[in-house]
Amino acid sequence: MKHLKIIAFTVVCILFSACSDNPTREYDETYEWSAQKLYSEAKRMQNKSDYTTAIDYLNKLESRFPFSAYAQQALLEVPYLYYKDNEMELAALAADRFIKINPRHPSVDYAYYIKGLSYSHHGESFVTQLFKLSKAERSHESMKQAFLTFRTLVEKFPDSKYAPEASKQLVIMRDTLAEREIIVAKYYLRRKAHVGAINRAKHVIQHYPQTPAIYDALGVLAKCYKELEMDHMYQDTLKVIKLNYPDHEVLKKG
């Protein structure tokens, strides 16, 4: 009997020790919450602009109740909450996850829209605002992804209520991508890397013909051809400039 008491006491000590050895373990108040409770509390946190907590609740909802109606809705709403929390990369990834899991969901067009917006705002920060950096001076890859996402939305869901805004964003993205090419072309021109500058300018003319960047692209070509003493190409470029931009700065400089 004495031995049994010793064993029982030892077991209790071991259990107590195991608990005390894990001081970082915190009580989770949501542990016994239902799917509905998690969802309603997430919405309450969202209304208070506590997006981090709202995301945490929705992630727990999806994890604990994966086959509930709330889980699919949670999966759809998380990207927007990341977007509101200025976590653009996470927002894009969450939206893409929803698209892959629910490609035929009635609201999948919304997921594409949030994904596009997230990519278009990726790289924005206090620093970019402080130095007034344009979108073209931020992440080129994120701009490309935004363009491709909005284009997919417009092509796959032309009747979507998000299609008109996506079309507007496409115009912005197109201008931004063209501007980015011009920034690089002018950099090459300053470095006397004429071949690189010419290739970038031609890319703008071929792929972004309806953008304001055409003005600068033609200017870069004219300057490169002049510096390279490619007179025939220079004169042909001047003719195009005179026809489309009679007040172009290149013509004024002669």
81-99 pLDDT, tens digit each: 999 999 999 999 999 999 9
CB count in 10 Å sphere of residue 209: 11
What predicted TM-score, i.e. pTM, was given to this entire model?
0.76
* Cα atoms in the Cβ-side hemisphere of radius 13 Å centred on 21: 6
CB count in 10 Å sphere of residue 63: 11
pLDDT tens per residue, range 195-229: 999 999 999 999 999 999 999 999 999 999 999 99
Residue 229 amino acid letter: E
User: How many whole angstroms separate alpha carbon 92 and alpha carbon 82?
Assistant: 9
User: How many whole angstroms separate alpha carbon 150 and alpha carbon 113?
Assistant: 7
Q: Percent of the chain scored above 90 by pLDDT?
A: 75
Whether the pLDDT of residue 68 is over 60: the answer is: yes
Structure tokens at 211: 């953008």
User: How many whole angstroms separate alpha carbon 213 and alpha carbon 206?
Assistant: 12
User: How many whole angstroms separate alpha carbon 165 and alpha carbon 172?
Assistant: 11
Whether the pLDDT of residue 182 is over 70: the answer is: yes
Q: Which of residues 29 and 40 earns the better pLDDT score?
A: 40
The mean predicted confidence, pLDDT, of the chain is 87
User: How many whole angstroms separate alpha carbon 99 and alpha carbon 76?
Assistant: 9
User: What is the average per-residue pLDDT within 42-60?
Assistant: 97
Q: Give the start-end residues of each E strand in 82-154.
A: none
User: Whose structure tokens read 């996402």?
Assistant: 149
pLDDT at 1: 54
User: How many whole angstroms separate alpha carbon 107 and alpha carbon 74?
Assistant: 13
